[in-house]
Structure 1
Amino acid sequence: MTDDVVRATPLVDLLELDDGAVVLLESGARSRVLKVSAIARTILALTQAGATLRSIGVELSARFGAPGDQTVDEAVGALVAELARQGLVEIDHGE
């Protein structure tokens, strides 16, 4: 797993649920409401001050166990990439 740093983007609002969260994002004049899973909510919490993909994988494995059909690296990478596509996190790949 890489040492890319992931940071949660600022949210307008967040409502925690038993199985995840509902988040409100604003981008310019556009607002979006998204429902995220408990694992995604955990990633958002872990990345408020920035966290490496490696540390996210360690924490998620401890809390939720190993993913079924992927390695931890693959699963975390895919989920973080999707959260980035949705505008919920930013990934600093470093140089």
Structure 2
Amino acid sequence: MDIVRFCTGDTVLFDDAICRAYIQGIVDAHEHFQLQGKHPKSFCVPKEKARRDEGEGMVPKWLEAFKERLHQKPQRLVVDALHAIFPCP
């Protein structure tokens, strides 16, 4: 998946939806593995929908800021972005 194309630059509404769905999939998988005790906590997404949506909307900005890393796997980039945006206490 070309997450960079979907999450950065001039995207149309459909691309934005794909970007947000991909990010949400990473968040959901992370939370699932957390509940099973199979994954260390990489980030802590707030429960409040407004804060969660705002933070997830910052992932494209993080990708733009770290263009030198865009050759890396998209899931690694999104996890690192979420870690920076939603650090655990």
The TM-score, its normalising length taken from structure 1, stands at 0.30
Looking at secondary structure, tell me which structure has more helix per residue: 2
The TM-score, its normalising length taken from structure 2, stands at 0.32
